[in-house]
Structure 1
Amino acid sequence: MGDYKAPRHRAAGAEPFWRSKSLEAMTPSEWESLCDGCGRCCLLKLEDDDTGEVHHTDVGCTLLDGLGCRCRDYRNRQKRVPDCVRLTPQAVREIPWLPPTCAYRLLRDGEPLFSWHPLVSGRAASVHEAGISVRGRMSGNEEEFTEDELLDRIVSWPGLTPDEES
């Protein structure tokens, strides 16, 4: 995977699309470019049946590549993983567990993108260099663990910003 190239549909000096468009108004390529490639949303989450609280684990979906931090079969992910959540503007507005570093969540909440986001930095590697991605932090993929073992894999970092992790 090479360095990320931001979509080139703006004139010099114009506002970047993520500042000038609503989530609903973005083109498919603009929408997809919002994903920083951190992989945090593709970590398994466990919901407490009693409280509804969502707990993040350090275990990736069966399709999550822990090195590249991307889906191994993005095009067919929903066929292969039926409970894979497809992010749409409506879903982004309803999903409470999106990581606090997620561009979709940030824009939904009227916040700016972080300086390490590939759209801002111009480099795909910046998300890894900033320590935001799951690279080197996953314990494995879901097929490597039993359901009971997942309880031992609950971690807090996917739901934190880098400042909160320190």
Structure 2
Amino acid sequence: MLVVATTALRAGQGRLAELVPWLRAVYAAHGPAAGDLLAVALAAAGQEREAREFLDRAGPLRTDYFFKVFATFRAMTLVMLGERAGADELYAALLPYRDAPPPSSGFTVAVRPVARTLGELALLLGLEEEAAGHFARATAIAEQWNSPLGRPDEEAARSPRPDRQDTP
């Protein structure tokens, strides 16, 4: 729970990249269950090759308590990498949650509204009209919940690497 909550907090702060060393240790201790967390941090740090490796090994998302949280992290990874493979399936899986508030998973972890994630996936898939609708919905949800997590910047959504650090 601490790892998921910390990753969600750093994602909201645009500070995912700084979690890479810690999430490597978590992955070493817990294996594939932490794969999406490490992949999104690696992608945010600009370590694309390794992020793709973890993404390729990730397997299907579990449809349990943390589905929306882990689906959000996986979608963020796909968008940061510009990876369309799997994006359409993830988009379809998240559509039923488009009106979900930022607090997710029984209100224990706050991530951005699913609508924002859907907007970014829609852009990745070339669905500009759908993306605009999702971003508008994300903004409305964020305002309703007084949350900065859903207010998408469309330029950032087109190039979502706010905390990317160039690494060799």
Please report the TM-score for the alignment, with normalisation by the length of structure 2.
Answer: 0.24
Q: Which has the higher helix share?
A: 2
Rg larger in 1 or in 2? 1
Please report the TM-score for the alignment, with normalisation by the length of structure 1.
Answer: 0.24
Q: Which has the higher strand share?
A: 1
